């Protein structure tokens, strides 16, 4: 990978200004580090805006793809807005000239920007927006495959496991059909299918779907070359690790958690923080989860400390971006690890320390606070109050404080359409009503 990277630097650093060189090729973009990717995004804009450009719509589609990849790796909302704007402009130009297939490509690019936004910021409404615009496109193979993926994502946000199973299976049938797709697009969709299989299995406790995700990732890992597809191979290893972790949780299997940790280390060997900061941070977060499971299984203090260190490394990348869903998840899981460590020790002081960490997070929020970040902290405070009551063996006001925090968080999550987090808050309120803490 790194030898190829040096050659790319020579290629992408010409003496004077040049148009974008990647032409939106995702396989080539994957090899560019963050500096080169940023330069390529700006160059793609120059190419799209050049006077006399014969096919401005396609140049805009290419620029949209580069800005989207930059947003995916960094979480930069401005980059994502540029991606969506370029795709929208391309679609309008193609529509004005009666180029239905080019317009369909632009609509697909616009939908992909929305999906990246949903992943980065936890805005589930972007799935519905992607579904809406894809219905307006000429039904090319690219549109059909992407639309099947979006429908499965929408089903994942629902409460019916049967509908979700049907949607994921439909996506699989579309993907294995005789579609004329670019190799990079087919690869992305296969990764999405593996991710959806895992997410569906994890949500409804279906070990068979998690097993299908493992089989899919095994095929991807065997077919990908880290020299040419480092980030996608890393993602396949990551999905394998997440599936193994879920099975470890469902079956109480510490060996699966150890295998998950090995898969995450393999992914980290392919990923550098200056190449793709968010991918690296997400992998560190995954290591924290795996180490927490191993720490609990063996009551291993050293594993707890390593888990907290991994969560800390993830937060070192995303800690100043409160709008990112990964930041909220990393804070939540770090606090959960601190709580479990304290409970394993029987250490009330450590629980008080975890509460202090969250209160410092609250104090650091801008005034008025960003509502979603504030609500996630309320969710975690409630968890600590529960643990404090269990550690003392008596309720000294923790039940009321936990209930207030959960109700406040539930209101914010419901208003913003973040149903997965709203469900967590609802589950916590149910435990309080049942006196199950």
Of 100-114, 223-237, 327-341, give the lowest mean pLDDT range.
327-341
3-state SS, one letter per residue, for 362-393: HHHCCCCCCHHHHHHHHHHHHHHHHHHHHHHC
Tokens read off for 41: 């995004």
Q: What tokens appear for 188 in the block?
A: 């992305």
Q: Rounded to the nearest 10 degrees, what angle do helices 125-134 and 141-156 cross at?
A: 150
Provide the token pair at 281.
């941070």
Report, as an integer, the average pLDDT of 49-70: 94
- The residue assigned the tokens 């989207």 is 68
> Per mean pLDDT, which range of 97-111, 247-261, 353-367 is the poorest?
353-367
What is the arithmetic mean of pLDDT over 234-258?
93
Q: Say if residue 17's pLDDT is above 60.
A: no
The helix/strand/coil state of 301 is helix
Q: What letter does residue 266 receive in the DSSP assignment? A: H
Percentage above 70 pLDDT, the chain: 92
Give the single-character DSSP code of 18: -
What pLDDT, on the 0 to 100 scale, is given for residue 21?
Answer: 57
Is the CA virtual torsion 58, 60, 65, 66 positive or negative?
positive
Which one is predicted more confidently, 53 or 234? 234
**Considering only CA atoms, which of 52, 61, 148, 66 is closest in space to residue 105?**
61
Least reliable range by pLDDT among 166-170, 310-314, 333-337, 406-410? 333-337
pLDDT of residue 3: 55
Q: How far is residue 174's CA from residue 151's CA, in Å, rounded to a whole number?
A: 12
C-alpha–C-alpha distance, residues 139 and 235, integer Å: 29
Q: Is 31 helix (H, G, I), strand (E, B) or coil?
A: coil
Q: 167: which 2 tokens?
A: 């949607």
Cα dihedral 59/65/71/76 (nearest 10): 20
93/110 Cα distance (integer angstroms)? 14
Instruction: Give the model confidence (pLDDT) of 351-377 as tens digits.
Output: 888 888 778 877 776 655 678 778 888
Flag whether the pTM goes above 0.95.
Answer: no
Say if CB 219 and CB 238 are below 8 A apart. no
Alpha helices by DSSP H, 50-160? 56-74, 77-96, 100-121, 125-134, 141-156
């Amino acid at each position: 990978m790194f030898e190829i990277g040096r050659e790319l630097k020579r290629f992408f650093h010409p003496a004077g200004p040049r148009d974008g060189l990647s032409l939106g090729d995702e396989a080539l973009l994957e090899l560019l580090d963050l500096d080169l990717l940023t330069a390529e995004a700006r160059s793609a804009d120059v190419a799209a805006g050049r006077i006399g450009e014969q096919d401005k719509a396609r140049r805009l589609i290419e620029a949209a793809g580069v800005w989207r990849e930059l947003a995916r790796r960094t979480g930069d909302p401005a980059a994502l807005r540029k991606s969506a704007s370029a795709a929208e402009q391309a679609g309008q130009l193609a529509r004005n000239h009666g180029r239905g297939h080019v317009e369909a490509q632009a609509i697909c690019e616009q939908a992909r920007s929305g999906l990246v936004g949903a992943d980065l910021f936890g805005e589930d409404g972007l799935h519905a927006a992607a579904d809406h615009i894809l219905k307006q496109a000429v039904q090319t193979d690219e549109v059909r495959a992407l639309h099947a993926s979006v429908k499965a994502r929408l089903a994942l946000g629902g409460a019916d496991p049967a509908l979700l199973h049907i949607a994921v299976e439909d996506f699989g049938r579309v993907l294995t059909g005789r579609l004329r797709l670019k190799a990079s697009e087919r690869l992305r969709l296969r990764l999405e299918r593996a991710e959806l299989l895992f997410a569906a299995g994890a949500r409804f406790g279906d070990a068979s779907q998690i097993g299908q995700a493992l089989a899919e990732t095994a095929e991807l890992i065997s077919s990908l070359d880290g020299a040419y597809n480092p980030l996608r191979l890393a993602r396949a290893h990551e999905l394998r690790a997440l599936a193994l972790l879920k099975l470890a949780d469902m079956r109480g299997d510490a060996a699966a958690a150890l295998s998950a940790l090995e898969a995450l280390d393999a992914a980290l060997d392919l990923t550098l923080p200056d190449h793709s900061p968010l991918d690296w941070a997400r992998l560190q977060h995954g290591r924290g989860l795996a180490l927490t499971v191993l720490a609990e299984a063996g009551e291993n203090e050293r594993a707890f400390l390593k888990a907290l260190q991994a969560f800390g490394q993830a937060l070192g990348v995303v800690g100043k971006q409160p709008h990112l869903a990964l930041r909220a998840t990393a804070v939540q899981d770090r606090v959960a690890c601190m709580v479990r460590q304290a409970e394993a020790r029987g250490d009330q002081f450590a629980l008080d320390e975890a509460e202090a960490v969250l209160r410092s997070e609250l104090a650091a929020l801008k005034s008025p606070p960003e509502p979603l970040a504030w609500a996630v902290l309320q969710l975690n405070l409630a968890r600590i109050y529960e643990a404090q009551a269990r550690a003392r063996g008596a309720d000294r006001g923790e039940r009321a404080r936990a209930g207030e925090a959960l109700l406040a968080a539930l209101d914010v999550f419901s208003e913003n359409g973040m149903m997965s987090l709203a469900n967590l808050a609802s589950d916590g309120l149910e435990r309080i009503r049942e006196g199950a803490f």
